[in-house]
Amino acid sequence: MSHQSLAGVRVVDLSRALAGPYATMMLADVGADVLKVEPPTGDDSRGWLPFTGAPDDEQRESAYFLSANRGKRSVRLDLKSQEGADRLRALCASADVLVENYRPGLLARLGLDPADLRAANPRLVTLSITGFGAGGPDGARPGFDQIVQAEAGLMSLTGPADGEPTRVGLPIADLLAGMFGAFGVMSALHERERTGAGRAVETSLLAAVTAVHAFQGAGWLTAGVDPVRTGNRHPSIAPYGTFRCADSSLVIAVGSEALWRRFAAVVGIPHDRPDVATNALRVARVAELQAELEALLADRKADDVIAELVDAGIPAGRIRTMPEVYDWEQVHHLGLVHHLAHATLGDVAVPGGALRYDGTTAASTVPPPLLGEHEPAEWQRWEAPWLDQQEEAR
């Protein structure tokens, strides 16, 4: 059973692709009633690879779409038409939250400015997610994930020291913006309990990536240190990174002096040796330390080393492939593989939610919808309060 802390909260989801849909999926996972309002041709991500099933299978679905849309119901609207615009106004009149990730100003040009929708329903919380933020010299620019990974400095920090700047292997700017957006909605809903009024919540891919610069951003702003790519090595701590063993590489994270003393005993290095006695000394000669450690590990199997390090309380792990991750017993124990009864695919597995409440993973049991699957029932259910208001007004 999914967690229901947002039970009764109605969310109109106008967003497409990933950042907005990920935010609304997080809300659905904790009980929100999410109506996905798609253009007549559907969310663009319905056409993105990879697909389930064979190429000629008419019932195949995009795994990309499935990954970010559980817990939702789907209807179609042409917002450029008068009927579509009126229907969206009706939906928002009875909603608690509106989520959109159109380019700034587009909804206003269609006569659907979120500020106007909020004026008609003062309790409405609106979330707008853009590429570069509203306003400013770059606010009108379109911003897909990799563009913002580049512009927000993330690519400059990622990849080998002597190689090209590299994108993170997941659309992390989109995902972070979705997470921040969901957090913003939750905080605005909590505030509404006191004030009775909604809020206009805004975030962007640029803001999300910049907000997680953490010590790299603070290092530049406070100490004038321009960070560089360090590959798999940590720029501030050593030893911390990947190390080759006899059969494969492993990851070791020696994040404190106490851990260093235990680690040094495992690999056979005097912990107080003058050239490695402190983290600052180890970072200063990180390349030499890497070579020394890999020489000590060269005849040992990675799993044996990991077992010994973990037994000593030292963080260490394998570099797993995706198949290995989803075969991992720990992943299944945590409920991180979620099975849903899809309308055409039958049982479908998707990545589960990251939160647990009282030992149970929070993930909606409602499968990702087919395009327009919930018409006309959802129109009737959502529009009824608005139609009642119109009748009372007459």
pLDDT at 391: 58
The CA distance from 7 to 30, in Å, is: 8
Cβ contacts of 248 within 8 Å, gap of 6 or more: 302, 318, 319
Is the pLDDT score of 392 beyond 70?
no
Is the pLDDT score of 57 beyond 90?
no
Between 234 and 58, name the one with better pLDDT: 234
pLDDT at 290: 96
Is the pLDDT score of 127 beyond 60?
yes
CB 24 within 8 A of CB 364: no
Question: Where residue 394 falls among pLDDT bands split at 50, 70, 90?
Answer: low
The model's pTM is 0.94
- Catalytic annotation, pick one of 96, 138, 174, 275: 174
pLDDT at 370: 96
Please provide the average confidence, as pLDDT, over all residues in the chain. 94
Check residue 262 and give left, alpha or beta (phi > 0: left; psi -120 to 50: alpha).
alpha
Question: Where residue 166 falls among pLDDT bands split at 50, 70, 90?
Answer: very high
Looking at this protein, which amino acid is placed at residue 142?
Answer: P
Is the pLDDT score of 2 beyond 90?
no
Q: Which of 197, 13, 21, 8 is nearest to 88 (CA)?
A: 13
- CATH class of the domain at 10-212+331-393: alpha beta
* Averaged pLDDT for residues 116-135: 97
240-244+249-318: CATH superfamily: formyl-coa transferase, domain 3 (3.30.1540.10)
CB 338 within 8 A of CB 70: yes
Question: Where residue 211 falls among pLDDT bands split at 50, 70, 90?
Answer: very high
Q: 13 an active-site residue? A: no
* Averaged pLDDT for residues 264-291: 97
pLDDT at 361: 87
Domains 10-212+331-393 and 240-244+249-318 agree in fold = no
DSSP bridge partners of 77: none
CB 209 within 8 A of CB 176: yes
pLDDT at 379: 85
The CA distance from 49 to 26, in Å, is: 23
Is the pLDDT score of 58 beyond 60?
yes
Question: Where residue 273 falls among pLDDT bands split at 50, 70, 90?
Answer: very high
pLDDT at 11: 98
Domain ranges of the chain: 10-212+331-393, 240-244+249-318
Ranges of H-type helices in the chain: 19-29, 63-67, 82-93, 106-109, 114-120, 145-151, 172-195, 205-211, 214-223, 257-267, 279-284, 286-297, 302-311, 322-327, 329-333, 377-393
DSSP bridge partners of 151: none
The CA distance from 18 to 62, in Å, is: 13
* Averaged pLDDT for residues 348-373: 93
* Averaged pLDDT for residues 352-380: 92
